[in-house]
Structure 1
């Protein structure tokens, strides 16, 4: 037992020396290739065994022949393990270079394509993560490009929409100033109409800026969908009557909502005005409110004939008006963008889909918690 303990002590001392030298070597090559870093542990493992064996052999006074045999066996093992580690490190380095070249495409905007060659599990996991990141970056760049294009369109369209009434106002003001008209009252009425239209446009821009800045804070209160829809229909009735469009609200349930009454009234008003303008004379615009699960769905159905499939995803974009002509009464194309912003501020969602003869806008809002009446106490 004492001999075994002595052998263990000598072997530990020799192996410790090899381990210390290996640690120094690892520190020296920590910034070098992974192949070299993998070779160091292989050499240290065989070196520790050789150092321990030599220590024990020296203490036990083995013959020079036996010592040479042991040294030769350890040297061959060290060469084999080092070659194997270098081969493995070279494969890892080659896979790393392929992955590095593929990742360089991310900075060029070309997207990341994972190498087809087999890779270690860690590098394969990194390649999958880079693929996901590339997909998200591509989607983000597309959204940014679409948003920038929408902003440029909006600036151009707003400039046109502002230039026309301002030019008209200037011409009418000059005519009144020079006394070139025999109907000043008619000019005053026309100027008032143009000023009101400009005011509405500025108000829409201000509301949209609040929505995009995230500063739209609804004042939530318990309201009834029946009252909300009724007020919206009453407000839009003069416009519908003037254009020969029928307004109906037969499918409205008295659902409790927790929302900002003024903002939701604006949502329905924008949807109704949009539907009335798009519906031909003798057409019908229908409003409904129904319960779906724990949500209320307010729907506005028109007779516009439908929206092209490639335009459906742009309906709620800023500046979209569904037509290329920038002439009144189409507006500045902000109404539906404001609708989406207000609805999302209420933790709801808005969507549109085509139906036979027209399209259907749906606003989905969470229902307010219904109060359960308590039974009267008995004295």
Structure 2
């Protein structure tokens, strides 16, 4: 391979760099601790930008009463803060909407890790900053290193203080510039003593605890590390985007093993730091086994959510052999490193983390294994954080099942004791252990085995009612019984779990298949949304809605829910925000958490089709990790269905446009000749009269004038047909139905066609007693004129055109017949199509092919029918119209 190929620019790096330039630019002033001068430096830079002519606005800046900071703030344009009441206190917050409306070039937003007052659009200030960046506004902000999520546990161990306000590391990774504001620890301590950071009493407490010199040195090192990693990321992106060769690390993936314990938080943060240092993508996995405790599900969801927040992919796997599942997953996902925690407290663990770590060291020889020791607790006494599983491995239900089955076996054994020997009674207790395992699981089975062993020894072996054993054969029976009960109970528990997992898997597959089938069989948008909402509700076990995005990039409100008071303004705002920003919003998120619904945007190929809304109870913190993954999977299917409907609509629009183009071409081809011919005739006749009137006899002048008038009338009828066609196609036909005498309508139509019918004999065979029809007189006249004009044009000169009519009990039939060439039987159904001419031959007869189509539209609009009647010679067109209602004399 040529060297130019090996160092070509990376498309992914170029795309990432282009996307960074599309948004606003974020600059973070990073410090090791409060008081180092972050806000001061930010305001100083902002004042220089203002002097350069940049539109600067202060969104929110906290001076904490420092006079030198207040002086720098003076003169900078400010956006008034928003006032909120919380717990009977009036508080001030950043007015995000006002700042977005003002849209300065540069906004100053202090304290990035700040938690907003409840009732704000976002739970955290860094989310406000994200929205400003999405709007194209540059932002300057400040941040202390202890607020970075990946350093949170380290800061807690160093300072003994748990920092609750954290910022995802992705924020600092997205920043265009990170400026480290460094101040030596001794100088910062001196500032504290001088009261330049906190008031004197608070400063003394800070010096005794958080701001000790050792703590400040450690925090300063963390800040330097964060800044250096950020610089290294920038250099890597630049080198890849500009095809600069370098010693790139081998690519792979880092796998971190998590469980439902508090210690996993430390393991996850450690894995995040390792992934950043090695520039590796990483995945947090949890292996669900037979002994997995469902009571710790909330802790597991929190751990997976933390990993996702720090930028990891997450996966929940199933299997009995945890180590093998981890290794297989790591191999199939090209992992280079596995990170696993080592628990120090394994007294009550059926699957201790230490044992898993050792198994990985022994068997996963193809991977780099990193073992993370358990962190000490926040008190700093050196004791490990107690595992949630260690506290919850045994439940009251397990104890009740074990005692219940053992007691039942004892009662049955006593009842059967007179009829069988003691060895046979052991099978009853073995059966009890099996039932305990099948009903309650592994722990209940083991506990039942121990209780049943004790009860059998106490009640049925000699000496009775004692735990001692006299007969050596009974000792063998007891030992075998205990071993078999252990094995059978565990097998029963495993079978129960596998059956339950198989049932869940089958149910999920069936429901997913049904969901896909519903989406595939939906016939329109409304049907699609209804089917999707029903399927989602069944899959998630929660009330769901699917709202479509309108042209204004907002969610169409659910009218029925609004009327029932179940969809408030806050819910609508969350749905609109999810569509506009293509991110989740609502309950359980950091954006509009006061909403009662959790919204997920339906998006594919850069287009947002709508949102999925999941209703959550007020006590809920959001959907769990597994449901969230399922929700995003279903969102992908729904987005694909919406894309399919959009493409189908586009195809239909293209077909309609193609048909319109064909119609336009046919109109031009058909009408152009018919328009030009009368105009030429009229122009020729009038030109001759003007230039040669003194030489043309008066009789010939009258003939020329009559020809011009006839052609003008013909042109008028053609224009009228075009107008009528337009009215029919747009549904703008206004009917004025009344009782119409057919003989009068025929006579009026014949009088309009003197020129066309001049060479024909017209026989009108309509009885004087014919009842009137219920029709629009004008439209009926145009229908008859079109039929008579066709007969006059296509029938040979000298032939007869016949008009007759007759009545039935509820209808009037009018027939116009000629002795022309007729219409082939195969074409009788098409002659009423627009622009179609029978035979499609050029016989010298003018015609646009609109007369019969317009006549059909008029007749059907009047409630009648029109068709080609059987005729021995020529063409016969028959009209059927309803009879006019009889008029009852007064």
What TM-score do the two structures reach when normalised by structure 2? 0.29
Which residue is 2:721 aligned to? Answer: 204
Q: C-alpha displacement at 1:269, in angstroms?
A: 2.5
Larger-gyration structure (1/2): 2
Partner residue of 2:886 out of 353, 370, 375: 370
Residues 295 and 365 in structure 1, CA contact (< 8 A), matched pair in contact too: yes
Which residue is 1:288 aligned to? Answer: 805
Which residue is 1:163 aligned to? Answer: 676
SS state at 2:823 partner: coil
Q: Structure 2 matches for 1:236-255, cutoff 5 A?
A: 242-250=758-766, 254-255=770-771
Which residue is 1:274 aligned to? Answer: 790
Higher helix share: 1
Residues in 1 aligned to 2:818 and 2:859: alpha-carbon distance in whole angstroms: 20
Write out per-residue CA displacement over residues 72-111 of structure 1, whole angstroms, 9 at most, x where no aligned residue: 12323544665687689889989999999x99xxxxxxxx
Residues in 2 aligned to 1:191 and 1:237: alpha-carbon distance in whole angstroms: 14
**1:331/1:58 Cα in 2 relative to 1: closer, same or farther (>3 Å)?**
same
SS state at 2:770 partner: coil
Residues 224 and 257 in structure 1, CA contact (< 8 A), matched pair in contact too: yes
Q: Structure 2 matches for 1:6-45, cutoff 5 A?
A: 18=294
SS state at 2:878 partner: strand
Residues 226 and 253 in structure 1, CA contact (< 8 A), matched pair in contact too: no
SS state at 2:857 partner: helix
Which residue is 2:780 aligned to? Answer: 264
Residues in 1 aligned to 2:686 and 2:820: alpha-carbon distance in whole angstroms: 38
Indicate the larger mover: 82-91 or 161-170: 82-91
Partner residue of 2:858 out of 342, 345, 349: 342
Residues in 1 aligned to 2:744 and 2:681: alpha-carbon distance in whole angstroms: 40
SS state at 1:72 partner: helix
Residues 256 and 367 in structure 1, CA contact (< 8 A), matched pair in contact too: yes
Which residue is 2:734 aligned to? Answer: 217
**1:356/1:81 Cα in 2 relative to 1: closer, same or farther (>3 Å)?**
farther
Residues in 1 aligned to 2:694 and 2:443: alpha-carbon distance in whole angstroms: 119
Q: C-alpha displacement at 1:262, in angstroms?
A: 2.1
Q: Does 1:52 align with 2:440?
A: yes
Partner residue of 1:154 out of 667, 690, 711: 667
Q: C-alpha displacement at 1:283, in angstroms?
A: 3.8
Residues 446 and 490 in structure 2, CA contact (< 8 A), matched pair in contact too: no
Q: Which has the higher contact order (CA 8 A, sep 6+)?
A: 1
Write out per-residue CA displacement over residues 119-146 of structure 1, whole angstroms, 9 at most, x where no aligned residue: xxxxxxxxxxxxxxxxxx9999989866
**1:348/1:182 Cα in 2 relative to 1: closer, same or farther (>3 Å)?**
same
Partner residue of 2:871 out of 341, 347, 355: 355
Residues 349 and 365 in structure 1, CA contact (< 8 A), matched pair in contact too: yes
Q: C-alpha displacement at 1:196, in angstroms?
A: 3.1
Write out per-residue CA displacement over residues 307-327 of structure 1, whole angstroms, 9 at most, x where no aligned residue: 123422321223334353374
User: How many pairs are equivalent?
Assistant: 306
Residues in 2 aligned to 1:263 and 1:241: alpha-carbon distance in whole angstroms: 21
Q: C-alpha displacement at 1:291, in angstroms?
A: 1.9
SS state at 1:352 partner: strand
Which residue is 1:120 aligned to? Answer: none
**1:295/1:206 Cα in 2 relative to 1: closer, same or farther (>3 Å)?**
same
Residues in 1 aligned to 2:772 and 2:651: alpha-carbon distance in whole angstroms: 42
Residues in 1 aligned to 2:657 and 2:856: alpha-carbon distance in whole angstroms: 19
Q: Does 1:70 align with 2:586?
A: no
Residues in 2 aligned to 1:223 and 1:348: alpha-carbon distance in whole angstroms: 14
Which residue is 1:127 aligned to? Answer: none
**1:167/1:296 Cα in 2 relative to 1: closer, same or farther (>3 Å)?**
closer
Write out per-residue CA displacement over residues 154-194 of structure 1, whole angstroms, 9 at most, x where no aligned residue: 21121122233334444555555655982282554443443
What TM-score do the two structures reach when normalised by structure 1? 0.60
SS state at 1:355 partner: coil
Residues in 1 aligned to 2:653 and 2:829: alpha-carbon distance in whole angstroms: 17
Q: Does 1:306 align with 2:822?
A: yes
Which residue is 1:191 aligned to? Answer: 708
SS state at 1:196 partner: helix
Residues 251 and 290 in structure 1, CA contact (< 8 A), matched pair in contact too: no
Residues in 2 aligned to 1:178 and 1:236: alpha-carbon distance in whole angstroms: 30
**1:158/1:228 Cα in 2 relative to 1: closer, same or farther (>3 Å)?**
closer
Residues 252 and 290 in structure 1, CA contact (< 8 A), matched pair in contact too: no
Residues 685 and 708 in structure 2, CA contact (< 8 A), matched pair in contact too: yes
- Structure 1: where are the runs of 5+ without partners? 1-16, 29-35, 41-47, 104-136, 375-379
**1:219/1:153 Cα in 2 relative to 1: closer, same or farther (>3 Å)?**
same
Which residue is 2:10 aligned to? Answer: none
Residues in 2 aligned to 1:324 and 1:181: alpha-carbon distance in whole angstroms: 43
Q: Does 1:318 align with 2:831?
A: no
Indicate the larger mover: 137-146 or 338-347: 137-146
Residues 745 and 781 in structure 2, CA contact (< 8 A), matched pair in contact too: yes
- Structure 2: where are the runs of 5+ without partners? 1-292, 305-314, 320-435, 454-481, 522-649
Residues in 2 aligned to 1:150 and 1:349: alpha-carbon distance in whole angstroms: 25
> RMSD of the alignment, in Å?
5.1
**1:178/1:246 Cα in 2 relative to 1: closer, same or farther (>3 Å)?**
closer
Residues 263 and 342 in structure 1, CA contact (< 8 A), matched pair in contact too: yes
**1:241/1:79 Cα in 2 relative to 1: closer, same or farther (>3 Å)?**
closer
SS state at 1:314 partner: coil
